[in-house]
Amino acid sequence: MRYLARLAKKQRVTVCAVLHQPRVEIAEVCDHLVLLVRGGRVVYDGPFKDAMQLFRNFGFTFPDGTSRIDVFLDISTGTVTSRLFPHSTALDWAVTWQRITVQAEVIARDLERDDSIGSIRAKMDVEVASLADGFRDL
């Protein structure tokens, strides 16, 4: 994996790899994480470095001495639950990720059309409230 990472940087190419239950040393080399649940639904798709904080924000814990890779896998299989949403399932998180992605696209599209700061803040407040309502449904 380190060779592939060096190759990608040196040759300026994208390297895609599917890693099933990777060792920590291998996963840490990756820049991007796509985390799937059963059926291929996306739970997370973004920078590897940001995934832990996102899941912490949703109430998942990363105990000391535990690999974040293991926690990611536990989230995707439903082995662990969020302390904020204890009855949520891995599939609920896939639906939530889809909502977040759609909301982010709406905000980005609106930002391109309207650059008024007041208008942007108002739209973001509405979108955040909408996401919060969606989580209450979990």
For the stretch 40-87, pLDDT in tens is 889 998 888 899 998 998 899 999 988 888 899 899 888 888 888 888
Nearest to 82, CA basis, from 60, 50, 61: 60
Percent of the chain with pLDDT over 70: 75
The answer as to whether 53 is a domain residue is: yes
Residue 89 confidence class, pLDDT cut points 50, 70, 90: confident
Can you give the residue range of the structural domain that contains 87? 31-136
How many structural domains is the chain composed of?
1
The answer as to whether 99 is a domain residue is: yes
What is the rounded CA–CA span in Å between residue 135 and residue 129? 10
12-22 pLDDT, tens per residue?
A: 877 776 766 66
Question: Does the reported pTM lie above 0.85?
Answer: no
Nearest to 36, CA basis, from 56, 20, 48, 60: 20
Number of H helices, E strands in the chain: 6, 2
The answer as to whether 49 is a domain residue is: yes
